[in-house]
Amino acid sequence: MTHFKLTLAYDGTNFAGYQIQPHQRTVQGVLQKALGKMAKVESIHIDGSGRTDSGVHALGQVVSFDYPGEIPARAMRLAMNSLMPLDIEILDAEIVPADFHARYSAKGKRYLYRVARGRFTDPFKRLYTGHYPYGLDVDRIRTALKDVVGTHDFTSFAASGGVIEDKVRTIYEATVQDDQANNELVFEFYGNGFLYNMVRIIVATLLEIGNGRRDVHDFLRLYEVKDRQQARGTAPASGLYLKEVYY
d(CA 194, CA 191): 7
165 touches a copy of itself by CB under 8 A: no
d(CA 169, CA 147): 13
88 touches a copy of itself by CB under 8 A: yes
Q: Which of 3, 9, 101, 167 binds a copy of itself (CB under 8 A)?
A: 9
Q: Based on CB atoms, which residue is closest to a copy of itself, 218 or 244?
A: 244
Q: Are 171 and 150 in contact (CB under 8 A)?
A: yes
Q: Are 207 and 235 in contact (CB under 8 A)?
A: yes
How many angstroms from the chain centroid is the CA of residue 180? Answer: 24
Residue 245 backbone dihedrals phi, psi, to 5 degrees: -115, 130
Binding range to a copy of itself, per CB under 8 A, among 8-16, 43-51, 174-182, 209-217: 8-16
The count of residues in the chain is 247
Q: Based on CB atoms, which residue is closest to a copy of itself, 130 or 191?
A: 130
Q: Are 99 and 5 in contact (CB under 8 A)?
A: no
89 touches a copy of itself by CB under 8 A: yes
Of residues 93 through 122, those in contact with a copy of itself by CB under 8 A are 120-122
Of residues 190 through 229, those in contact with a copy of itself by CB under 8 A are none
Residue 36 burial (10 A CB sphere; 0-12, 13-18, 19+): middle
Q: Cβ of residue 57: shortest distance to a copy of itself, in angstroms?
A: 7
d(CA 20, CA 10): 15
149 touches a copy of itself by CB under 8 A: no
Residue 53 is a catalytic residue: yes
Q: Which of 81, 143, 192, 211 binds a copy of itself (CB under 8 A)?
A: 81
Q: Based on CB atoms, which residue is closest to a copy of itself, 49 or 155?
A: 49
Of 11, 47, 53, 66, the catalytic one is 53
Task: Give the binding site for a copy of itself (CB under 8 A).
Answer: 9-11, 57, 81, 86-90, 120-124, 126, 128
Q: Catalytic residues, which ones?
A: 53
